[in-house]
Amino acid sequence: MAAADRQRPPFVAMLRDSALAAVVAALLAVPLLGVRLVDNAGGLTLDYRLPLVLYAAAAVFAGRLLLSLAGHFLAPSFRDMTVSLPRMPRNSLIIVGWVLVAAAVLLPWMPFAERNLVDKLTLILIYVMLGWGLNIVVGLAGLLDLGYVAFYAIGAYAYALLSMHFGLSFWICLPLAGLMAALFGVALGFPVLRLRGDYLAIVTLGFGEIIRVVLLNWQAVTNGPNGITGIERPTLFGLSFSRAADGPTFAGFFGIEFSPVHRVYFLYYLILALALMTTLFAQRIRRLPTGRAWEALREDEIACRSLGMNPVTVKLSAFAIGASFAGLAGSFFATRQGFISPESFSFIESATILAIVVLGGMGSQIGIVLAAVLLVGLPEWFRDLSEYRMLVFGGAMVLIMLWRPQGLLSRREPTILLDPKPASAGATVP
């Protein structure tokens, strides 16, 4: 039988494989497309739509056959094809980073800049900051976190509740929101210290859903599905950006005409400063013993234990620091929107943030910026095609996993390199 299969022409095998795929598709399409309930005068009756089942099976047959033919004829050409982006020297990457920072600072003052553009850039920077925060947990420490949006929600609700019930300003609530998110990060870290891989992902996913359900049902505190409205807006050294306020206003202090664009620009520069603080902190701590411990734990936890490293403190520090940046981003989101509700912190947000980290390249700061522009910015500019967003999203992730599994701009290099020159005979290695 095996010899007969080897002698069978490839086209016959393709037809057989396509027919098998069509049969499976037909069986799956029967309960989904083949029948439906119809409400009529006599009650509910079943309506059979077998032509739709045949159409689905035919489409699967044709698609599978085309893929097999394309793979048979084009595979030799693409077998050895790999997408390899040139690796830039470290000094060049630093220059590119500072050029991007200068462009971000000057962009609102460009002739083509408008309020809509600045507002979309603010949204992108929120996800950039979230991506850089999650990169500490996933990219550096190697801990797969699918519930990162929970810390985002904790920061947002912490700021909203503290400002409403205690009258605290944004600048006081901002560090408190980050601290509260960090405490929840430590609380999540303790139960998952012994978990790895898929098990860790499932637990963190459950934690994110628990936070969302608590926010949805604890109506006495969070106002449930109705959300919290009237969240206080931030001020610049006590100057309000509203038209009329109890205290001094920004326009009145500088003697200029009031414009709502002032607040938009202020929020843009505020989230830009928070994002830069996040990336500078991550770059700095990566070269400190804590960051080196994260990367060592990511590569081999058993070797870390054998060297006397305590994985408990290493994992907890990664969860706490990564969660604190999500809390800061959540407090900014709350003050920018002026309204928050549990629907803003669903699982799709965690999936988007994780996709930004994976697509950009785990450990790559500039790659996360590029991925945030692609996954968040483009759907905002093409809102008319929003119904195809998830299709494009899934297709992009599949292509990245096929041709760039390490991410667009991944740099998994060690923070410290040993001298590659071999030691001379009789020399003492330092």
pLDDT band at 233 (very low <50, low <70, confident <90, very high): confident
Q: Contact at 8 Å (CB) between 311 and 304?
A: yes
pLDDT, tens digit, for every residue of 47-76?
778 888 888 888 888 888 888 887 777 655
Query: What percent of the chain has a predicted confidence (pLDDT) above 70?
Result: 80
Residue 278, pLDDT > 60, answer yes
pLDDT band at 83 (very low <50, low <70, confident <90, very high): very low
Decide: helix, strand or coil at residue 45: strand
Q: What share of the chain is helix, strand, coil (3-state, %, to 5)?
A: 70, 5, 25
Length of the chain: 430
pLDDT, tens digit, for every residue of 103-118?
888 888 887 778 888 8
In terms of average pLDDT, the best of 81-90, 186-195, 211-220, 291-300 is: 211-220
pLDDT band at 7 (very low <50, low <70, confident <90, very high): very low
Q: What CATH number was assigned to the domain covering residues 111-403?
A: 1.10.3470
Residue 1 has a pLDDT of 46
Residue 156, pLDDT > 70, answer yes
Residue 102 has a pLDDT of 85
pLDDT band at 82 (very low <50, low <70, confident <90, very high): very low
Residue 244, pLDDT > 90, answer no
Residue 91 has a pLDDT of 64
Residue 15, pLDDT > 80, answer yes
- Other CB atoms within a 10 A radius of the CB of residue 46 amount to 9
Residue 332 has a pLDDT of 92
Mean model confidence pLDDT for the chain: 79
Average pLDDT on 394-414 reads: 65
**Helices and strands of the chain, counted as H and E runs:** 18, 4
Global confidence as pTM: 0.74
The full set of domain ranges for the chain reads 8-75, 111-403
Residue 180, pLDDT > 70, answer yes
Concatenated DSSP letters for 345-391? G-HHHHHHHHHHHHHH-TT-HHHHHHHHIIIIIHHHHTGGGGGGHHH
Residue 428 has a pLDDT of 47
pLDDT band at 383 (very low <50, low <70, confident <90, very high): low
